[in-house]
A and B are shown apart, each in its own frame.
Chain A
Amino acid sequence: MSAKQDRRDKIASRLVQIGFLVAVMGLWYFGTAYWGINRILLPNPVNVWHELKDVLSTGEFLPDLKVTLMEIAFAFAISCSTGVTLGYLISRSHFLIKVFEPLLAGFYSVPLILFLPLYVLFFGLGPGSKIALGATISFFPIVLNTIAGFGYVEKIFITAARSMGASDVQMFRHVLLPAAFPVILTGLRMGFTVALLSILGSETLASLAGLGHKIVHLAEAMETPRMFAYIAFAVAIAIFLNTTVSALERRAKRR
């Protein structure tokens, strides 16, 4: 395929994507404005827009946003430090890899959100239980990718470095770490995404504050336009955080 045709295809697919979004918004607008859809169940987008402007201009969102971001930060810090450390230690032995890799992969495939009630019992309804859940869920992709990164460094790199007299510290710094780094970074990105997801999700289930909590609160009060405004806000925050992390990953991998 020529480069020109390639570009034309790309433009065409972009146009279809934009068209699709416009169509959804249009359906939403006409459905609620003219076709008699219950406005309490599905508010009009124009109302939602006004609510969103109000939420943003009053700064009402700040306390909840702070709680959610703090939970994400703590959860991610915990899963990063434990995941990378344990992953490295496990990767040092073929036996440990054989034992723990399938075990951890097995745990990862369990719907860990089921631990939320238990964590609420342990840590209460406050941020503690969200942090614990986010840390638990994001721990697995991080530890698994760290094992994969450090455990499967191509043997020829290690042999070559050894033949040139690399010390253990030099081996780690100049061979193991740079070889494992891109794989670990992918794990961190995946961990961040699931931490964000599980924290927002668990806030809607059992919590005292946070964006997820606010959304449920508004739903229960039947303030759906404002609820939709908060959903849009939370989605924007999530997109912003995820693209930032992805951009950091790409930047760090660029060579």
Chain B
Amino acid sequence: MTTGDAAIRVRDVSHQFGEPGDAHFVQALQHTSLDIKRGELLCLIGPSGCGKSTLLNMIGGLLVPTTGTVEVHGKPVRGPLPRDIAFVFQENSLFPWCTIIDNVKLGMVFQGVAKSEQEPRARSALEAVGLKDFMSHYPAQLSGGMRQRAALARALSLETGTLLMDEPFGALDEQTRMILGEDLSVLLSRSEKTIVFVTHSLGEAVFLADRVAVFSARPGRIKEIIDVDEPHPRSPSFVTTEKFSRLRNTLYSLLHDEIRKAVEQSATVAPPS
């Protein structure tokens, strides 16, 4: 774990959709506080609907908390901070009408990068994720895994200090996911980025994270934070170690009751759309 100040400070945030008494009222997150250190990779894991994506969106300024504050590098977050924070979404966030390289460049156009820098930065980001030969393909011509690599390249090219990843591999099959996880670990060990990574997968969390924040079922709050004391980049054999199994089992036992609670909730309450 890298030492340093908190890059992201979350103080007592809550978020609700609708008003109490509404048919669609959902308390997604309740009085949550969290410090994320500069350069660490923090995984958020928890049952569906616990508010982990909500928290991520609040950190990134895409959602305004109902109560509480979020600070990034000491600045309060009131909206998107494209110079400080980049997102990788679950899937299909690439613009289908642009080629892969144009997708990456468009991110820099939005961010305000000088035109002369766009091309070299897009190329090196795409090379870094292994898509050198697919720059002029359209997203529809690539597999789901390659599309997510491209989305990652777009986020990397923005050269932000913080990366927020919302189940970036959630829609992929287990094997693709494993390979992408390994590549991500190598890639990120070279950077100094602060990363918040939302996932459903216990193995993914242990494999990637410096710390794992486990959420309780709705109304979500952080139940416990687990340290994974293991240097990056992590070798694929890390998953076969006893330490990995122990941490995974710890997460499993922390999550199991919460997931059961969440399943029972979803049987009685319709999830927010």
| Same complex origin of A and B | yes
Contact B82 A156 (CB under 8 A): no
Q: Can you name the residue of chain A whose Cβ is closest to the Cβ of B80?
A: A163
Number of interface residues of B (CB under 8 A): 23
Contact B80 A162 (CB under 8 A): yes
Contact A170 B110 (CB under 8 A): yes
152-202 of chain B: CB within 8 A of chain A: 158
38-54 of chain B: CB within 8 A of chain A: none
Residues of A within 8 A of B60 (CB): 163
Q: Can you name the residue of chain B whose Cβ is closest to the Cβ of A175?
A: B95
Q: Does B213 contact A (CB under 8 A)?
A: no
Residues of B within 8 A of A255 (CB): 97, 138
Contact B110 A165 (CB under 8 A): yes
Per-position 1/0 for B124-151, Cβ under 8 A of A: 0000000000000010000000000000
Per-position 1/0 for A175-204, Cβ under 8 A of B: 100110100000000000000000000000
How many angstroms between the C-alpha atoms of A170 and B93 in the bound complex?
Answer: 17
- Once A156-B89, A159-B62 are accepted as A-B contacts, the answer to whether A179 and B80 lie under 8 Å apart by CB is no
- Once A159-B62, A170-B109 are accepted as A-B contacts, the answer to whether A164 and B92 lie under 8 Å apart by CB is no
Give which listed residue, B86, B92, B110, B112, contacts A161 with CB less than 8 A.
B110
A95 to chain B minimum Cβ distance, whole angstroms, is: 18
Q: Does A154 contact B (CB under 8 A)?
A: yes
Q: Does A166 contact B (CB under 8 A)?
A: yes
CB within 8 Å: A-B pair count:
55
Number of interface residues of A (CB under 8 A): 19
Residues of A within 8 A of B95 (CB): 157, 174-175, 178-179
Contact B111 A178 (CB under 8 A): no
Per-position 1/0 for A212-228, Cβ under 8 A of B: 00000000000000000
Give which listed residue, A156, A167, A174, A178, contacts B92 with CB less than 8 A.
A156
How many angstroms between the C-alpha atoms of A154 and B96 in the bound complex?
Answer: 11
Contact A165 B112 (CB under 8 A): yes
Residues of A within 8 A of B110 (CB): 161, 164-167, 170, 174
Interface, chain A (partner B; CB < 8 A): 154, 156-157, 159-167, 170, 174-175, 178-179, 181, 255
Could you jot down 30 A-B contacts, CB within 8 Å?
A154-B92, A156-B92, A157-B93, A157-B95, A159-B62, A159-B89, A160-B89, A160-B93, A161-B110, A162-B80, A163-B60, A163-B62, A163-B80, A163-B86, A164-B80, A164-B86, A164-B87, A164-B106, A164-B107, A164-B110, A165-B80, A165-B82, A165-B83, A165-B111, A165-B112, A167-B110, A170-B110, A179-B95, A181-B97, A255-B138
- The 5 A-B residue pairs whose C-beta atoms are closest, nearest first, are A165-B82, A164-B110, A166-B110, A160-B93, A178-B97
Interface, chain B (partner A; CB < 8 A): 60-62, 80, 82-83, 85-87, 89, 92-93, 95, 97-98, 106-107, 109-112, 138, 158
